[in-house]
Amino acid sequence: MSNYHIKNLEEYFQVYRKSVRNPENFWEEIAEEHFLWRKRWDNVLSWNFSKPEVKWFEGAKLNITENCIDRHLTTRGDKTAILFEPNNPDEEAQAISYKELHKRVNKFANVLKSKGIKKGDRVCIYLPMIPELAISLLACARIGAIHSVVFAGFSSTALATRINDSECKMVITSDGSFRGSKTIDLKSIVDEALVDCPTISDVLVVKRINSEVLMKEGRDVWIEPLLAAASDECNAEVMDAEDPLFILYTSGSTGKPKGMLHTTAGYMVYTAYTFKNVFQYKENDVYWCTADIGWITGHSYIVYGPLANGATTVMFEGVPSYPDYGRFWQIVEKHKINQFYTAPTAIRALAKEGLAHVEPHNLSSLKILGTVGEPINEEAWHWYDDNIGKRKSPIVDTWWQTETGGIMITPIPFSTPTKPTYATLPFPGIQPVLMDTEGEVVKGNQVEGKLCIQFPWPSMARTIWGNHERYKDTYFSAFENKYFTGDGALRDEVGYYRITGRVDDVIIVSGHNLGTAPIEDAINEHPAVAESAIVGFPHDIKGNALYGYVILKDTGESRNHDNLRKEINQIITEQVGPIAKLDKIQFTQGLPKTRSGKIMRRILRKIASKDISNLGDTSTLLNPEVVQGIIDEAM
C-alpha cells in the first residue's frame, strides 16, 4: 500500500524520505492505487530544468472528470459533491450530488460541443461563484478543452488581455453577479472586452441576477434552454497525461500577465494527494475553502482536489461582510463545516470586527483550519487559533503558488506541530532549498535565502502559454537547475520554513498577486501623468497596500491633487480592476533610477513604509538628488 494518507509525524518523515530517495517509485505507487487510468504510463518522470521540460506519467491516458465524478457514482452517487451557499442567506443552499453533477457536467459539455468546441480549444470562463462555474471547468475538461478562468473582479481590459493572449474561442459568463449588497453587470464588462477580441465566436450566458442584458445576435446565447435540451450523457475525451488541462493567469514583476499552463495527470495526482493529507479529509466531512475559483486556490482546492477524493466541497457566492461580519461563522454552523480554508487578509478583517460576530455561532464542527495566499502575521494566527479553532483545530499555513499547482510547504495536521507564521515542512515530494545572493545553496538551519525547488513535482506548471522563453527566464534562470519561486524564506532551528514575502516586484494585496506594470501602464494613460511607480507598503488588513509615486506633466497649470487621485484610481479600476486601486498617491518631481534607467523600487518601498533610517547605497543612482525631495514630500 502506498502512503496515500499520512496519519502521524513519524509516518510523515518516513513518507517524505521515500519521496526524496525514490521519487519515481513514490509517485507511481500513489498514482496506481488511487486513480482511474484508461491506460497506464510508460514512464513516470522525465525532466530537464535547463530546457526546461518536465513530463509526468508519460504515455498514460485518462480523463480528470472520470476521476472527479464518474468513479464516485457507484460508491457515493447520492453524496453531496458541491454544496452551494448563495450570497443572500435567505436563498436556499443547493446540494448537488455526484450523480447530479455528472449529469450537469455532461449536459454542459454537450452544449460546448454543439458550439464547435473541441479538444485543445481555449474557453474563457468569467463567472461568479455559482455552481455553473465549477461545472463549466469540468465540462471543458470532459471534452479536452482548455479552460482559462478569469476572476470576475477583473476589468474588461484585463479580461480582453487574457482572452487574446490565449486566443479563446468562447466566453462563458453570466448576466451578472451578487456580491454582498451589490450587483455587478458582468455581461456588460464582457461586451466591452469583446470589442477587442477577434477570436471569440460564442458567448454563453448563465442567468443569475435576472437583469436586462444586451444579447448580440449570432454571438450570445442564454445557456439554460441549451442545457435543458442537451443529453446528460457525454463520453469523456481520452487525454494524454501531458495534455493541457487549463491556463490560469498570474501577475509577473514585469510585462503582461503570465498564462500558466497546467497539464492533466500530474496536476490531478498532486492536488488530490495534497487535499487528502493537508485537510485530513474523511468520508463524511464537509470542507469549505472560501477562495474564488478565479484563483488557483479555487481550481485546486474547491474543484479538482476535493472532487478527486469524493469530498463534499462548499462554494460560497458572497462576501464575509454580508449581511454582517458573522457570515463565515454562520455558514460554518449551518453546514457543520469540518475543514475551513481562507486567507490571512480575511482573518484580519474579521478579527478587527470583534468577537461579537463570532460568539453567537457554534463552531464545534471545525477540525482543521487553513490559510493561504500571503504570510500570516502572529496576531492573526493567534486570533484564528484562539477564537475560531478554540486551540483544538490545527492551523495549516499552506505555502504555494499558481505556478506550483498545489500546496508545497505545509503542516500535516495532527502530525506536524504548528508554529505561528511558519508554513513548516515540505510536503512529500517537494525538495526546497534556500539560495544566497552568490547563487549558492544555503546549508544548515537558522538561515535565510531565496526559496527554490530543486526537483520536479507532478503539478508544476509546464510553461507560460505562448512564451516558453519567458517561463525559462522567470523560473529557471536565476539559479541553475532550480525552480525559483520569487519568494524569500527562512529556515529555523528545526528546519521549519517561514515565507518572508516576495523578493521581486510582485505585490500581494489582500492575497491577490498584483504586478506593477499593468497598474503603472493604467496610471500613465491619464493625460496629466508623465511617469509613475508603484510599490507595496504594510497594511493592517490587506497585508500590503499600494503606494503610487506619480510625476505630473509640466503644463504650467496647477491641478487639484485630490481630483487627480480620484481620476487615477478610476483609470486603474477600469483597466485592471478595483483590487488594484492605490491607497496612497504621492505626486513627486522625480523617481530614483539606476544608470540603466530602471526605477529603484527598493528606495521607494522604504519611503512608502516610512522606514528611511537606512536607505542603502544611493550613490550609484543616476539621480541621487531626487531622493531627499521624495522623502520630504512623503513625511
Residues that bind ligand WTA (CB under 6 A): 250, 295-297, 372-375, 397-402, 423, 485-487, 499, 502, 508, 513
Rounded to a whole number, what is the distance in angstroms from the first to the last CA of the chain?
63
**Is the CB of 461 or the CB of 585 nearer to ligand WTA?**
461
Amino acid at 444: G
Residue 399 Cβ, how far from ligand WTA at the closest point, in Å?
Answer: 4
Residue 78 Cβ, how far from ligand WTA at the closest point, in Å?
Answer: 32
Of 154, 162, 247, 235, the residue nearest 196 (C-alpha): 162
Q: Evaluate the omega torsion of the peptide bond into residue 86 and state whether it is cis, within 30 degrees of 0.
A: no
**Is the CB of 373 or the CB of 428 nearer to ligand WTA?**
373
Residue 432 Cβ, how far from ligand WTA at the closest point, in Å?
Answer: 13
Sheet strand arrangement including 220-222: 220-222, 202-206, 170-174, 122-126, 146-149, 244-250, 258-263, 463-464
**Is the CB of 85 or the CB of 487 nearer to ligand WTA?**
487
Residue 541 Cβ, how far from ligand WTA at the closest point, in Å?
Answer: 16
**Is the CB of 103 or the CB of 258 nearer to ligand WTA?**
258
Three-state secondary structure call for residue 60: coil
Q: Is the dihedral of CA 415, 420, 424, 427 positive or negative?
A: positive
**Is the CB of 173 or the CB of 421 nearer to ligand WTA?**
421
Query: H-helix or E-strand containing 550?
Result: strand 543-552
Residue 238 Cβ, how far from ligand WTA at the closest point, in Å?
Answer: 30
DSSP string of 75-87, one letter each residue: HHTTSEEEEEE-S
Q: Determine the distance from the C-alpha atom of residue 362 to the mean position of all C-alpha atoms in its chain, rounded to a whole number.
A: 30
Residue 51 Cβ, how far from ligand WTA at the closest point, in Å?
Answer: 23
Q: Closest residue to ligand WTA, Cβ-based? A: 402
**Is the CB of 110 or the CB of 463 nearer to ligand WTA?**
463
**Is the CB of 86 or the CB of 153 nearer to ligand WTA?**
153
Residue entry with cell 498514482: 31
**Is the CB of 63 or the CB of 402 nearer to ligand WTA?**
402
Beta bridge partners of 483: 453
Residue 95 Cβ, how far from ligand WTA at the closest point, in Å?
Answer: 27
**Is the CB of 116 or the CB of 578 nearer to ligand WTA?**
578
Q: Determine the distance from the C-alpha atom of residue 286 to the mean position of all C-alpha atoms in its chain, rounded to a whole number.
A: 22
Residue 407 Cβ, how far from ligand WTA at the closest point, in Å?
Answer: 8
Q: Determine the distance from the C-alpha atom of residue 589 to the mean position of all C-alpha atoms in its chain, rounded to a whole number.
A: 37
Task: Name the phi and psi angles at 572, rounded to 5.
Answer: -60, -45
**Residue 443 φ/ψ region, left for φ over 0, alpha for ψ in the -120 to 50 degree band, beta for the rest:** beta
**Is the CB of 170 or the CB of 296 nearer to ligand WTA?**
296
CB atoms within 10 A of CB 611: 12
Residue 121 Cβ, how far from ligand WTA at the closest point, in Å?
Answer: 25
**Residue 543 φ/ψ region, left for φ over 0, alpha for ψ in the -120 to 50 degree band, beta for the rest:** left
Instruction: Report d(CA 464, CA 247) in Å as an integer.
Output: 9
**Is the CB of 150 or the CB of 296 nearer to ligand WTA?**
296
Residue 301 Cβ, how far from ligand WTA at the closest point, in Å?
Answer: 9
**Is the CB of 106 or the CB of 402 nearer to ligand WTA?**
402
**Is the CB of 108 or the CB of 400 nearer to ligand WTA?**
400
Check: CB of residue 396 under 8 Å from CB of residue 278. Answer: yes
Three-state secondary structure call for residue 264: helix
The runs of H, that is alpha helices, within 206-339 are 224-229, 264-278, 296-298, 305-308, 327-335
Cα diameter, the chain: 77
**Is the CB of 337 or the CB of 489 nearer to ligand WTA?**
489
Q: What share of the chain is helix, strand, coil (3-state, %, to 5)?
A: 30, 25, 45
Of 296, 295, 384, the residue nearest 348 (C-alpha): 384
Task: Name the phi and psi angles at 153, rounded to 5.
Answer: -100, -5
**Is the CB of 122 or the CB of 502 nearer to ligand WTA?**
502
Instruction: Report d(CA 522, CA 403) in Å as an integer.
Output: 26
Check: CB of residue 96 under 8 Å from CB of residue 84. Answer: yes
Q: Are strands 529-539 and 543-552 parallel, antiparallel or unpaired?
A: antiparallel
Three-state secondary structure call for residue 394: coil
Residue 498 Cβ, how far from ligand WTA at the closest point, in Å?
Answer: 8
Instruction: Report d(CA 584, CA 590) in Å as an integer.
Output: 17
Residue 373 Cβ, how far from ligand WTA at the closest point, in Å?
Answer: 5
Residue 499 Cβ, how far from ligand WTA at the closest point, in Å?
Answer: 4
Residue 380 Cβ, how far from ligand WTA at the closest point, in Å?
Answer: 12
Residue 627 Cβ, how far from ligand WTA at the closest point, in Å?
Answer: 28
CA R_g for the chain: 24
Instruction: Report d(CA 571, CA 548) in Å as an integer.
Output: 13
